[in-house]
A and B are shown apart, each in its own frame.
Chain A
Amino acid sequence: MNDTTSRYRTMIGHRLFWPAAVLFVMLAANTIYRPGFLSIELKDGHLYGTPIDILRLSAPLILVALGMTLVISTGGIDLSVGSLCAISGAIACMYISKQPDQNSLGVVLTALAMAMGIALVLGAWNGVLVAVIGIQPIIATLILMVAGRGLAQLITQGQIITINSEPFRAIGLGHLLTLPLAIFIALAAALLVAAFTRRTALGMIVESVGGNAEASRLAGIRSGRVVFLTYVLSAGCAAIAGFMMTANVSSADGNAVGLWVELDAILAVVIGGTSLAGGRFFLGGTIIGALIIQTLTTTVYAMDISPQTSLLFKAVVVIAVCLIQAPAFRARFRRRRRNVPPPATIADKPKEQVPA
Chain B
Amino acid sequence: MGKMRTQSAPWRAAAVLASVLLVGGVAACGNSDTGGGGGTKDDGKITMGFSQVGAESGWRTANTTSIKESAAAAGVELKFDDAQQKQENQIKAIRNYIQQKVDVIAFSPVVESGWDTVLKEAKDAKIPVILTDRSVDSADKTLYKTFLGSDFVKEGKLAGEWLVEQKKSATGTVNIVELQGNTGAAPANDRKKGFGEAIAANPNLKIIASQPGDFTRAGGKQVMEQFLKANPKIDVLFAHNDDMGLGAIEAITAAGKVPGKDITIITVDAVKDGMQALADGKFNFIAECSPLLGPQLMDLAKKVHAGEEVPPRIETEETTFTTEQAKEALPNRKY
Contacts and interface: CB of A to CB of B under 8 A. Distances in A.
A48 B16 contact: no
Interface string B44-57: 00000000001111
Most buried by A among B12, B85, B210, B217: B217
Interface stretch (A63-71, A120-128, A155-163): A155-163
Contacts of A256: 56, 214, 216-219
Contact of A57 (B27, B222, B243, B246): B222
B254 A48 contact: yes
B265 to A, nearest CB: 16
B324 to A, nearest CB: 24
Interface stretch (B18-26, B156-164, B196-204, B297-305): B18-26
Given A277-B12, A302-B226, A322-B10, A255 B85 contact: yes
Contact of A255 (B2, B54, B229, B250): B54
Interface string A288-303: 0000000001101110
A352 B4 CA distance: 12
B56 to A, nearest CB: 5
Interface string A263-278: 1001100100101110
Nearest to B276: A162
Interface in A11-68: 34, 36-37, 43-44, 48-50, 53, 57
B211 A160 contact: no
Contact of B256 (A44, A147, A248): A44
Nearest to A304: B209
A48 B251 CA distance: 11
A77 B16 contact: yes
Contacts of A6: none
B1 A352 contact: yes
B10 A279 contact: no
Contacts of B221: 248-249
Nearest to B230: A302
Contacts of A267: 13
B16 A138 contact: yes
Given A146-B28, A275-B9, A50 B229 contact: yes
A8 B56 CA distance: 51
A236 interface: no
Contact of A328 (B7, B223, B246): B7
Interface in B245-285: 246-247, 250, 254-256, 273
Contacts of A149: 84
Given A347-B6, A348-B3, A270 B13 contact: yes
B9 A146 contact: no
19 contacts: A57-B222, A77-B16, A143-B27, A149-B84, A150-B31, A160-B217, A160-B273, A173-B254, A249-B250, A256-B56, A263-B17, A266-B17, A275-B9, A276-B12, A298-B226, A301-B226, A307-B212, A328-B3, A352-B1
B10 A323 contact: yes
Contacts of A249: 217-218, 221, 246-247, 250
A138 B23 contact: yes
8 pairs of A and B residues whose beta carbons are closest in the complex = A301-B226, A328-B7, A158-B55, A249-B217, A322-B10, A307-B183, A256-B216, A275-B5
A154 B226 CA distance: 33
Contacts of B212: 307
A146 B86 CA distance: 13
A142 B227 CA distance: 36
Interface in A156-182: 158-160, 162, 173
Interface of B: 1-3, 5-10, 12-13, 16-17, 19-20, 23-24, 27-28, 30-31, 54-58, 61, 64, 84-85, 180, 183, 209-212, 214, 216-219, 221-223, 225-227, 229-230, 243, 246-247, 250, 254-256, 273
Given A48-B254, A322-B13, 16 more contacts: A43-B256, A77-B16, A138-B19, A143-B27, A150-B31, A159-B58, A160-B273, A245-B218, A256-B56, A275-B5, A279-B5, A280-B5, A297-B222, A301-B211, A308-B183, A327-B7
Contacts of A220: none
Contacts of B246: 249
B34 to A, nearest CB: 15
B82 to A, nearest CB: 8
Contacts of B225: 53, 301
A189 interface: no
Nearest to A322: B10
A253 B216 contact: yes
A100 to B, nearest CB: 20
